[in-house]
Structure 1
Amino acid sequence: MNKKVVFKTYSQDQLSLLPPSYDDLVPKNHPVRIVNTIVDRLDISALERSYKGGGTSSYHPRMLLKVTIYAYLRNIYSSRKIEQALQENIHFMWLSGQSKPDHNTINDFRGKRLKGTFQNIFNQVVILLAEQGVLSLKELFVDGTKIEANANRYTFVWGKSNKTSKERIKKQLKELWKYVESVYDQEQMLPNEPDFEAIDPEKVAQTIDTINQALKDKEIDKKVKQKLNYAKKNWPQNLQKYNEQEKILGTRNSYSKTDPDATFMRMKDDYMQNGQLKPGYNLQASTNNQFIVNYSLAQTTADTTTLKDHLQKHIASYGEAPQTLTADAGYGSEENYVDLEEKEVTAYVKYNYFHKEQRDKKHRENPFHPDNLFYNQETDTYYCPMGQAMNKIESYESETKNGFKQTIHKYQAQNCLGCPLRGSCHKAKGNRTIERNHNLIRLKEKARDLLLSEEGIAHRKRRCWDVEAVFGNIKQNMGFKRFMLRGMDKATTEIGLIAMAHNLRKFSVA
């Protein structure tokens, strides 16, 4: 016997006695409520002051802030898709109070209004989370990752190419002057030789005019004449372009034409895991308990030069330095060790060859390695494996790209001639010479003791799952692998929104 099928009542035209409330449709523990509650507690007076009076009314910045943060929490980064969500998604409608700003308003808000003000908003949220006990500002785990910029991958400027082009112009100018010398008779007086070292638009134009004047009444080769015409027409303006590009480059080696703040960096994110050069920014993040405490963007590809500014930003944000900082070997430099020591931060920071020292027995037991030579601190003397004194012969200062000065000492053996160990000791023609940086040696010994302590081992183990897991979440779970906004300031604001979304999402499931 067949049973009767019963369907639930379905009527699109059914009227309600009372109008439905969006609040009834949003679950009590939904992340959108957490965003709403936390943003309501924030002081956004600085953001409100960015609005000027007069004209038509503006959407409230608190509402726009809530919508933008929640959109990033839901992996919605396009302003057009946020606009669409405000018209279709119940959670966005509830959060915005049914306000429907268009994509231009949303883009203008996150790209211009939040610039310079969002950092303070982010810091307030971090402090709130710290008060809840879910993170600590005392212990930091630092690492960096590269994120692609919103820029064309094939329109770029290389500093090395500019330098090569300027050298080529200098070389061709000299060749043209040699031609002038060759067409003049010995009895004829040559004009004064131009200054070929001053490669700037005005000087080059003057040099070309001088060469043209010198060849005015001469029969010259057709190819030389064509080159002079081309040089007069193109070289000064090309040099002007190179100079403008060098100003944008600064200390960098490259930049993108569509986002001049972005630097070309090697990124391993294609399906074959091949390193690819793409315009991007170097994201530096400090985490604790997988919450982002501090973030900054750098235009350099190496992490080494970013730590000082990143740490200073943390101090400016929260009023004090952390008690401990843990980072990998990419940050182990004398400059960073000195800065951490001056700020009284316990640094569990590896240096190059730290793991090799621990694992490579040959390195540790190599009697000829400078690190293994006996050093008498009182007499400032090294001794080679044969017991011969190596006295200091010179001290000099070297300077890093950041302007940090290092003091290097040179030591030399007195007589290596006839030494039976010379072939194993060194291959130089004269007596063996070594260079030593005593301050760096001291700092490495201090770092080694910290890293090999029980606390150091625990911090090193924790760093892997604390900060690296955050980057994995941002790139894989949140799908944020490329910026939507262009320029250093706007990209910094956007990565701040990503950091805020990451923190609130993690807090909502904690």
Structure 2
Amino acid sequence: MFKDYNMNQLVLPLDVEIKLQEHDIAFSIHQLVESIPTEAFAPFLQQTGCPAYHPRMMLKLILCGYTQSAFSGRRIEDLTKDSLRMMWLAQGYQPSYRTINRFRVHPLTKELLRQCFVQFRCQLVKEDLIAQEAIFIDGTKIEATANKFTFVWKRSIEKYEASLVEKSNQLYEELLQQQIIPAIEQEVETQLSITELKQVAEKLEEVVADYTERIEQSEKAQERKQLRSERKTPKQQWKQVNEWITRKQKYERDFAIFGKRNSYAKTDPDATFMRMKDDYMQNGQLKAGYNLQIATEGQYTLAYGIYANPTDTKTLIPFLDEIERRYFQLPQHIVADAGYGSEPNYEDVRNNRKCEPVIPYTHYRKEQSKKYQQDPFRTSNWMYDEELDTYICPYQQKVTFRYESTQEDKEGFQRTFRIYECEDCTGCPFREKCTKAQEGKSRKIKVNENWEQQKAYVRTKLSEAKAGTLYRQRKVDVEPVFGCLKANLGFTRFSVRGQSKVENEIGFALMAVNLRKYRWKRKSSSSSSFHTSKNRNHLMRFRFFVWTRTIYVPASLYVVVRINHIATLRTEFWYCPIGLPATFITFNICRLCCATFFTKLTFILCAT
């Protein structure tokens, strides 16, 4: 016995929402996007031209595509034709892949993504899924869509520019000595600028033009030959100067692209060459990529940022600034790993933001070991006399204070060091283990009192029960997000170029991870009242659907079914060819009151 299967039976194609599961991810996407205020979509509105697709629909389609690991515009376009959830979200529309790609990288889409994260966090707070007492920060590197052999290194450009400056200065001095060109007023004595090189090229061009004119006027072959020989050198110099001008312009563009970075890719100038964890070539080769920073709680991404520098230490302060400016107010505890522990980071979190950093410094774990604490050559283990302000070395010599030194890094942060020097290291049996100073020089140590106080604060904070619990929770809160993003979702490489476009794409990917996890939790919990009412509506529609299938349709009739959606003011037609004559049946289905009823039933026999 088989289940009923008949391709000639009339089946009414009702709303595809009926076929979606109760806790389908499409409902979560729909609820999230609908919670965004209408004012956020106002910049997309245009008064002229062809009416555009609604930004709510486009946002839903791309989010739904990313939850299904469809990161290509063509793949998302295909899903709108064969995926039930995509058909429901699109409501019958089928935007092309070009439209999808343009919307995905549009500058205004960044604000919609920000609204998504803000509204999603509000929903988490409303359902008590996050406690709002701490955020967990971590970073990972994602490969850019750039050729790995299109690198440009800052050191190489500096080397080539220095060689160009040396050659141009040498040529300028030779031209002055030979009195070929007059002296030029230089803005910088050490090198010629592009404007000054252009002036040198103009003078050389005039010299070459003068030789050319004399050659054309001369009637003697020997004289013309001599003039051409004399013109050869300034002509070569003129070509060389023009080449230097082109190269110097290129170097200036390179330095403008570099900024504070040390490299960039030609195919994606915003990407920086970094060392990735997934080294498939197993040779430690650097690849163009971006540094992704996220702030999570409850394994949900609440904020994110894209940065070009490969180290996490210098990304904490700008990332916290972005969180406060665009997402939400910082909670009491900022939790991160040892890669973020530095003096400027501690000072910024404690003094400027009035938060508690639960962030160990680099050697925190190492200092807890017994071997480190018993090492006599570690300056932290030396005895200190506060009255005399001296340290006692392992050879029982006094290491006294000499002077203070201030150092400033590339970011402009100043550190003050107190320099101590041993009174006499002569004849010390521990000299080789204690210091690398040359013979005749004593050992010097640098002490940063501010840094030592911050490390003492961190050690005390991490020894507390609550802070220790939060730091242990960091591993199970922020790390799974990266695992879901790369392993489960399959997002391991960007498909767009440029930092602004990359920010939009990673925003879609991270929100897709959030929605997948949120849907899984909602599915495991009890159904909400919203979905219960939808199920009741679906049940009524299903009864109507079963009743219509039981209508007897003679083989000699041609049935046309028209359903008028009053809520959307749209009429749809379905045709089922059965025979020559036809029966015309009209059903009106009102979706405003979530009920199904007949308003008119008419049979019309038509002859063909």
TM-score normalized by structure 2? 0.75
Unaligned ranges ≥5, structure 1: 1-5
What residue is the counterpart of 1:30 in the other structure? 24
- 1:83-94 matches, within 5 Å, as 83-94=77-88
Structure 1 residue 52 and structure 2 residue 46: aligned? Answer: yes
Distance in 2, matches of 1:57 and 1:466, equals 44
Structure 1 residue 253 and structure 2 residue 262: aligned? Answer: yes
Structure 1 residue 495 and structure 2 residue 509: aligned? Answer: no
Stretch of structure 1 that moved more, 341-350 or 289-298: 341-350
Structure 1 residue 404 and structure 2 residue 410: aligned? Answer: no
**DSSP 3-state at the match of 2:42:** helix
- The percentage of aligned residue pairs carrying the same residue is 35
2:401 equivalent among 379, 392, 395: 392
- 1:143-292 matches, within 5 Å, as 143-173=138-168, 176=171, 197-206=190-199, 228-271=237-280, 273-292=282-301
Decide whether aligned partners of structure 1 residues 427 and 26 sit closer, same or farther in structure 2, where only a CA change above 3 A counts.
closer
Stretch of structure 1 that moved more, 270-279 or 256-265: 270-279
What residue is the counterpart of 1:105 in the other structure? 99
Task: State the shift of 1:381 in Å.
Answer: 3.4
What residue is the counterpart of 1:131 in the other structure? 126
Stretch of structure 1 that moved more, 322-331 or 208-217: 208-217
Distance in 2, matches of 1:318 and 1:190, equals 62
Task: State the shift of 1:386 in Å.
Answer: 4.5
- 1:415-434 matches, within 5 Å, as 415-419=424-428, 421-428=430-437, 429-434=440-445
Mapped contact 2:181–2:204 kept (Cα < 8 A): no
Larger Rg: 2
Mapped contact 1:269–1:275 kept (Cα < 8 A): no
Distance in 1, matches of 2:132 and 2:232, equals 70
Mapped contact 1:150–1:482 kept (Cα < 8 A): yes
What residue is the counterpart of 1:140 in the other structure? 135
Mapped contact 2:264–2:272 kept (Cα < 8 A): yes
Task: State the shift of 1:317 in Å.
Answer: 3.7
2:461 equivalent among 450, 474, 477: 450
Equivalenced residues, count: 499
Task: State the shift of 1:430 in Å.
Answer: 1.6
Decide whether aligned partners of structure 1 residues 98 and 190 sit closer, same or farther in structure 2, where only a CA change above 3 A counts.
closer
- Partner deviation per Cα, 1:121-156 (whole Å, 9 max, x = no partner): 321111211221122332111111001122233223
- 1:338-353 matches, within 5 Å, as 338-342=347-351, 343-353=353-363
**DSSP 3-state at the match of 2:368:** helix
- Partner deviation per Cα, 1:257-305 (whole Å, 9 max, x = no partner): 2222111111132445443322211000111121112111111000000
Decide whether aligned partners of structure 1 residues 423 and 29 sit closer, same or farther in structure 2, where only a CA change above 3 A counts.
closer
Decide whether aligned partners of structure 1 residues 196 and 226 sit closer, same or farther in structure 2, where only a CA change above 3 A counts.
farther
What residue is the counterpart of 1:365 in the other structure? 374
Structure 1 residue 333 and structure 2 residue 342: aligned? Answer: yes
Distance in 2, matches of 1:468 and 1:386, equals 47
Task: State the shift of 1:418 in Å.
Answer: 4.3
Distance in 1, matches of 2:38 and 2:2, equals 52
What residue is the counterpart of 2:488 in the other structure? 477
Decide whether aligned partners of structure 1 residues 157 and 424 sit closer, same or farther in structure 2, where only a CA change above 3 A counts.
closer
Q: Which amino acid aligns with 1:53?
A: Q
Decide whether aligned partners of structure 1 residues 424 and 147 sit closer, same or farther in structure 2, where only a CA change above 3 A counts.
closer
Stretch of structure 1 that moved more, 489-498 or 45-54: 45-54
Mapped contact 1:393–1:411 kept (Cα < 8 A): yes
What residue is the counterpart of 1:3 in the other structure? none
Task: State the shift of 1:214 in Å.
Answer: 11
**DSSP 3-state at the match of 2:5:** coil
Distance in 2, matches of 1:465 and 1:273, equals 28
Distance in 2, matches of 1:292 and 1:234, equals 51
**DSSP 3-state at the match of 1:241:** helix
Task: State the shift of 1:341 in Å.
Answer: 0.9
Decide whether aligned partners of structure 1 residues 377 and 291 sit closer, same or farther in structure 2, where only a CA change above 3 A counts.
farther
Q: Which amino acid aligns with 2:468?
A: I
Distance in 2, matches of 1:417 and 1:223, equals 68
Mapped contact 1:69–1:497 kept (Cα < 8 A): yes
Distance in 1, matches of 2:35 and 2:114, equals 16
Mapped contact 1:48–1:61 kept (Cα < 8 A): no
Distance in 1, matches of 2:91 and 2:464, equals 55
Distance in 2, matches of 1:226 and 1:484, equals 48
Mapped contact 2:104–2:504 kept (Cα < 8 A): yes
**DSSP 3-state at the match of 1:141:** strand
Stretch of structure 1 that moved more, 455-464 or 250-259: 455-464
Q: Which amino acid aligns with 1:401?
A: K
Distance in 2, matches of 1:391 and 1:335, equals 28
Structure 1 residue 295 and structure 2 residue 311: aligned? Answer: no
Distance in 1, matches of 2:395 and 2:120, equals 63
Mapped contact 1:334–1:440 kept (Cα < 8 A): yes
Distance in 2, matches of 1:291 and 1:42, equals 19
Q: Which amino acid aligns with 2:265?
A: S
Stretch of structure 1 that moved more, 124-133 or 244-253: 124-133
**C-alpha RMSD of matched pairs (Å):** 3.1
Distance in 1, matches of 2:248 and 2:254, equals 10
Decide whether aligned partners of structure 1 residues 506 and 409 sit closer, same or farther in structure 2, where only a CA change above 3 A counts.
same
Structure scoring higher RCO (CA < 8 A, sep ≥ 6) equals 1
Task: State the shift of 1:420 in Å.
Answer: 5.1
What residue is the counterpart of 1:76 in the other structure? 70
TM-score normalized by structure 1? 0.88
Decide whether aligned partners of structure 1 residues 384 and 231 sit closer, same or farther in structure 2, where only a CA change above 3 A counts.
same
Q: Which amino acid aligns with 2:362?
A: N
Q: Which amino acid aligns with 2:357?
A: A
Distance in 1, matches of 2:206 and 2:14, equals 89
Mapped contact 1:140–1:287 kept (Cα < 8 A): yes
What residue is the counterpart of 1:116 in the other structure? 111
